[in-house]
Structure 1
Amino acid sequence: MTVGRLLRTARETLRDAGLRGCLLVRDLDSGDELGLDDDVVLAVASLVKVPLAVATVDRIERGELDGATAVTVAPGRVRTPGPTGLSRFRHPATVAIDDLLYLSVAISDEGASDALFALTPPTVVADTLRRFGVDGISVRHRTRDLTDTPAERLAPEVHLAHSLAASATTAGQGHPVAQLDVGRANSGSARAFVELLHALWRPSRIPAVVAARVRELMGDNLLRQRLAPDFSSDSSRWSSKTGTLLNLRHEVGVVEHADGQAYAVAALSESTVPAAVQPQAEAALAQVARELHDALRAARR
């Protein structure tokens, strides 16, 4: 199949699932890549926890923070579906910074992430990315803001929130929901996240010990309903981070094959279907990401 036909078929698969997809797959050794609207900037939801982890681990390694320091986290008392971990706790909890990192990345815990943001604010995270030469990712607010959306205010009529999310985006990617407005939200493109993944998996300006710890955290990701079914096997390792908010369904990660080849994958998407649960969309996004990956991998053989 030609590249042009592959991309046309990919668009059709996503469109049939009610998705607009922005994807990029890159061979981390050759630099060869295949993408689909990979420079489009979208709100990134919980994908911001990867830059947060990079900045936090870097501060630990530079002696500005001690990973063993205990932090008391106030209860989140969140009752709407979605948030996990400390965000749902009813009572205060005391957790070490190292363990907050695990909770933030592995189970996408908003409470743990905001405890880390309290130590390393969004502006510092953004500055850290720039210092490491990673551009195109804007870090503007804490993750607590992700739990104050129309989905919470309109519960249990959650379909109304998803209808607003899917229909109100402007041509310039503005949006009345702040968390979906790329001018106000944490934002980035598939290409920007592939650049970050490349810098974490191959030698770069990110210190090797920092990159290794973040790779370990992403390898422990427990949210595996999106791309993992198409990338995990006995002969490959899938390390990733998901991001989900209203009509946004994202995942970025790296698949490392037993033969030594490794591919960075960034799949960002927004749905036009006003529903919270969309297994067809999850499957379609993974299918397209895998097809792009397989085309690149086949080209090396």
Structure 2
Amino acid sequence: MTAAIEGAFREAGVVGWLHAVDLDTGRELGVRQDETVVLASVFKVPLLVAFFRRAAAGGLDPVEQVTLPPGVRVAGPTGTSVLLDEVRMSLRDLACLMITVSDNTAADAVLDRVGLDHVNRALADLGLTRTRVTGSAADLHASLMADAGVADPADLWGRLTDPGMTGRLTALDPARSSRGTPRELTGLLAAIWRDEAAPPAECAQMRRMLGLQIWPHRLAAGFPYDDVLVSGKTGTLLTLRNEIGVVEYPDGGRYALAVFTRARSTAATHPRADAAIGTAARLAVQELRGWAS
């Protein structure tokens, strides 16, 4: 089956990394599952865990109201990042937006309250020693602009074809950006689904938010069935397209997945890469379910 998964990646013009695990039996399947990959917006899942752990410990009030002044926005195409006027909502609702629509401004507001040290401490406490968050969405955006030598994000795509440009971007280097391994990220999902990442009530809230993610074009595309629930979080950054999530079948089967891809093409839109994530996930889950039968 790994050969078929590699074939799906190759046909889409991407290099891929994958880990899949049956949450109840521990059976697993992987492709380069222990190599380090760039998280991109997947960093918002460790942040979500740290947020709810701090809330459960009394370190913050999840319904505390936060005001986002007009004009103070982190670059991004969704949620509060595209709004022009003052926004006021709870930390918990900001956390929901950062997961369901990958809102960068919401994520950074939550990170400001949680603290980067607490995010990485939560990962360490869960035994995820190779997963680390190095900064905010704003930090990521600033590094891209600085490394590419541009002031306008619209100019960045035009520079990607410059010789050696992608190799100069800190954000695309797992040694210098927020990072993890596919195996550790399915481990993080497993902790959420098993009520081990935080107390049960907080884990239930995390599962709810991940289940409300709106993007259907990656993991969910591999499971187009009304009775199969796909919960997840995407990550997109230039040539990188990722998603981690959990697929739940009506017979009780539960499978954590982490799929990361890097495209050779620098095109802003790459539907074949998106589809390959769903295809690879479907092949992996079919294999795990076949072993159980």
TM-score, normalization by structure 1: 0.89
Measure the CA separation in 2 of the matches of 1:57 and 1:44. 20
Q: CA deviation at 1:72?
A: 1.0
Give the residue type in structure 2 aligned to 1:160: G
Partner of 2:277: 285
Within 5 Å, give how 1:263-282 maps onto structure 2.
263-282=255-274
8 Å CA contact 1:76, 1:88 repeated in 2 = no
What SS does the aligned partner of 1:163 have? coil
Partner of 1:248: 240
Partner of 1:163: 161
Q: CA deviation at 1:14?
A: 1.0
- CA deviation map 1:238-284 (0-9, x unaligned): 11000001011000000111101100011011111110101111112
Equivalent residue in structure 2 for 1:192, among 172, 184, 200: 184
- CA deviation map 1:124-183 (0-9, x unaligned): 10001212333321111011223332587465455434436x9656xxxxx421211222
Identity %: 34
Partner of 1:29: 24
Partner of 1:111: 105
What SS does the aligned partner of 1:264 have? strand
Within 5 Å, give how 1:230-245 maps onto structure 2.
230-245=222-237
C-alpha spacing 1:76/1:121, structure 2 compared with 1 (3 Å): farther
- CA deviation map 1:177-225 (0-9, x unaligned): 1211222211111111011011111243632222211111101111222
Q: CA deviation at 1:109?
A: 0.4
Within 5 Å, give how 1:1-301 maps onto structure 2.
6-75=1-70, 83-148=77-142, 149-150=144-145, 153=151, 155-157=153-155, 159-163=157-161, 175-204=167-196, 206-301=198-293
C-alpha spacing 1:198/1:232, structure 2 compared with 1 (3 Å): farther
Partner of 1:3: none
What SS does the aligned partner of 1:67 have? coil
C-alpha spacing 1:63/1:11, structure 2 compared with 1 (3 Å): same
Give the residue type in structure 2 aligned to 1:117: L
8 Å CA contact 1:194, 1:265 repeated in 2 = yes
8 Å CA contact 1:178, 1:184 repeated in 2 = yes
8 Å CA contact 1:256, 1:262 repeated in 2 = yes
User: Bigger CA drift: 9-18 or 201-210?
Assistant: 201-210
Measure the CA separation in 1 of the matches of 2:65 and 2:49. 19
C-alpha spacing 1:16/1:115, structure 2 compared with 1 (3 Å): same
Measure the CA separation in 1 of the matches of 2:8 and 2:2. 10
8 Å CA contact 1:232, 1:238 repeated in 2 = no
C-alpha spacing 1:293/1:246, structure 2 compared with 1 (3 Å): same
Measure the CA separation in 2 of the matches of 1:44 and 1:226. 16
C-alpha spacing 1:7/1:216, structure 2 compared with 1 (3 Å): same
8 Å CA contact 1:122, 1:141 repeated in 2 = yes
Give the residue type in structure 2 aligned to 1:183: A
